[in-house]
Structure 1
Amino acid sequence: MALTMNDKVLTEAFGASEGALLRLKQIMLVVVGIAALAIAAKVKIPMIPVPMTLGTLAVLTVGAAYGPRLGLVTIIGYMILGAAGFDVFASSAAGVSGIEYMMGGTGGYLVGYVLATFALGVLARMGWDRSAAKMAAAMLIGNALIYIPGLLWLGTLYGWDKPILEWGLTPFIYGDLLKLAIAAMIVPMAWKAIGKARG
C-alpha cells in the first residue's frame, strides 16, 4: 500500500504559496524556527527529578508545522549555528560549545533531533497533525527517534557498564510525556483555528 503524502502542513495553510513571496516566507520561517529552537533549549521548568527544557517540544512542533523539507532545513541551520559556537543548545554556555559540545554526551540526541524533525514532517504530510490522537502517536515516534541515537551514543561514549538509562532516559520521561500532551494539542488546535478563520 502506497503512503500518501499530499496533505498540506500548517505553514502552507497561510501566506504566499508560489514565487518570490513563497521563498521570502520560507526564509522567514527558517529564521523564526531556528530562533524558537534556540530559545526553547534555554527554557528550564523546575520538575522532579530534573528540570524540563522545551527543546524537544520545539523540535517536534517545528517538524510537524514545517513539513519534512523546510523542517530539515531549519534543524540543520540550527545545528550549523551550534557547530559554529553560537550558544543555541541547552547547556552550551557552560564552558563547552560548538563541535566539542556536539561530540559530548548530548551528541546522539542532536542527531535524533534531525531524525525526529524529518519524521514529524513526513507524518504531518500524511495528515497525522490534524487530530490529537495521531499527533500524539507521531510525537511518540519522534521521541523514540531522539532517544535511540541519544542512548546509543551515551553507551558508546561512556561504556555500557554505566547506568545509561538512568542518565539519559528515565529522569526525562515525565517531562517528555507532558510535552507530548502539549504538542499533541497545539498543531491540531492551530488547524481548527485556521478552519474557523476561513469559515
Structure 2
Amino acid sequence: MSAPAARLATAPVLADLIRVDSRQTARVRDAILTLAGTAFITIAGYIIIPLPFTPVPISLATFAVLLTGAALGPLRGGMSAGIYLALGLVGVPLFANGQFGWAFASFGYIIGYIAATLLVGILARRRSDRNVWTTLGLATLGSLAIYAFGVPWLAVFLGVDLATALMLGVVPFLIGDAIKIVAMSALLPTTWRIVDRTRS
C-alpha cells in the first residue's frame, strides 16, 4: 500500500483528537468512550414515537448509532453497539420501551446497529465524514446496513412476506431517516472544519 493510501485508510476520527500520553491512558480513554457510546445509544433509544400501524417505533437510536460509529471509529463504535446488544440480551432493559432479550419485532435492527457502526466507522477512517456529500453517502449506507438486518428479522418474526416487511419496517421511516442523514451531513463536516481551524 502506498503512503497516501495508508494515510487515507487510517485517518483519525473525532475521538482520536482526545490526546493521551501513554498506552495505558489510551486504554482508559477508549473504554470510557466506548461506554459513553453505549450510553448515548441507550438514551437515544428511549426517545421514541410509537406508530399504530407497525410494531417498529420511530427512534433516535439510529441517529445515535451512526454518529457513534463516525465519531468513535469502527472498533470503539462497534464495541459500543455490541455492549448495548449484549446487555439487552442478558436482561438489562436498555432497548426501546424498556425491552430486553430478542423476542420482539425490532430486534433485527439492533443487530444491524453493530454492522452500521462498523461500516460508518470504517468510512470515517477514510475521511468520508469530512464533507457534505461523502457524509451523505456514509450515513445512507449506515442506515441501509441497519435495514439489511432489521427487515428480514421483522418479516420472519411477524410471518409476513418481504414486501409487507418493507412497508412496515422501512417506508414509515424514510422521511425521518432523510432528516437524520441531512443532520449528520451538516454536523460532522462542520465539526471537522472547526477542528481544522483550531489546529491552524
What TM-score bracket applies, with the shorter chain setting the length?
0.7 to 0.9
TM-score by length of 1: 0.87
In structure 1, the gaps of 5 or more residues are none
Q: Which residue of 2 aligns with 1:189?
A: 190
Asked if 1:24 corresponds to 2:25, the answer is: no
Name the % identity.
Answer: 31
How far off is 1:46 after superposition? Answer: 9.2
SS at 2:9 equivalent: coil
- What is the one-letter code of the residue matched to 1:120? V
Q: Is the 8 A contact 1:15 1:25 kept in 2?
A: no
Alignment of 1:61 onto 2:67: yes
Q: How does 1:24-173 map to 2 (within 5 A)?
A: 24-44=28-48, 52-91=58-97, 93=98, 97-99=99-101, 102-161=102-161, 163-173=164-174
Cα distance in 2, alignment partners of residues 44 and 156 from structure 1: 23
CA deviation vs aligned residue, 1:74-117 (integer Å, no higher than 9, x gap): 111111121122222122x2xxx322xx2321121111111111
The letter of the residue matching 2:189 is P
Q: Note the C-alpha offset of 1:44.
A: 3.2
Aligned with 1:15 (options 19, 40, 47): 19
Cα distance change, pair 180–187 in 1 and its aligned pair in 2 (3 A): same
Q: Whole-Å Cα distance in 2 between the matches of residues 57 and 174 of structure 1?
A: 13
TM-score (norm 2): 0.87
Shift of 1:17: 6.0
Which letter does structure 1 place at the counterpart of 2:89?
Answer: A
- CA distance in 1: counterparts of 2:18 and 2:115, whole angstroms: 26
Gaps of 5+ in 2: none
Structure 1 residue identity aligned to 2:199: R
Distance 1:160 1:43 in 2: 27
Over 3 Å counting, the alpha-carbon distance change for 1:72 and 1:52 in structure 2 is same
Residue identity matched to 2:108: G
Q: Distance in 2 between matches of 1:111 and 1:119?
A: 13
- Greater length-normalized contact order (CA 8 Å, ≥ 6 residues apart): 1
Write the distance in 2 (CA, Å) between the matches of 1:78 and 1:55.
11
Matched positions, count: 193
Q: Distance in 2 between matches of 1:42 and 1:140?
A: 23
Q: Is the 8 A contact 2:94 2:100 kept in 1?
A: no
Deviations 1:4-25 (A, max 9, x none): 4121111102221641111111
| CA-based RMSD | 2.4
What's the offset of the Cα at 1:52? 3.7
